[in-house]
Amino acid sequence: MYLIFRCDCGRALYTREGVKTRRCVCGKTIKVKSRRILGKVESFQDAAYMVRKLQEEKYGPGGFLKKKIE
Ligand SMILES: [Zn+2]
């Protein structure tokens, strides 16, 4: 089982259930227990997929690609 949660920097992360801390790429070490768990999934692949979805939810897919072509 994998847990999905967010760092204070807004980045979505996942970790295997039972792991106590996870280091974000922003440098912060997160206590998994202290975070609100956004989701639980069975596989590593599902966890990676959910994290990507959460990132897109927050930052938008592709970002600048949405800009109108003039
Ligand atoms: Zn972070």
What's the CA gap between 48 and 7, in Å, rounded? 15
What secondary structure letter does DSSP report for 43?
S
Does 30 fall in a domain?
yes
pLDDT tens figures, 10-25: 999 999 999 999 999 9
- Give the 3-state secondary structure of residue 50: helix
Does 70 fall in a domain?
no
Does 67 fall in a domain?
no
Pairwise pLDDT comparison (59 vs 53), residue with the higher score: 53
Mean pLDDT of the region 38-67: 83
- Cα of 60 vs centre of ligand 1, distance in Å, is 18
* Enclosing domain of residue 27: 2-62
Of 5, 13, 6, 3, which is closest to residue 41 (Cα–Cα)?
Answer: 3
- Output the pTM of the full model: 0.81
Average pLDDT, the chain: 88
- Cα of 70 vs centre of ligand 1, distance in Å, is 36
Does 10 fall in a domain?
yes
Does 52 fall in a domain?
yes
CATH of the domain at 21: 3.90.820.10
Q: How many domains is the chain built from?
A: 1
Does 69 fall in a domain?
no
| Strand ranges (E), the chain | 2-6, 12-16, 21-23, 29-31, 39-41
Does 16 fall in a domain?
yes
- Cα of 7 vs centre of ligand 1, distance in Å, is 5
- Cα of 68 vs centre of ligand 1, distance in Å, is 31
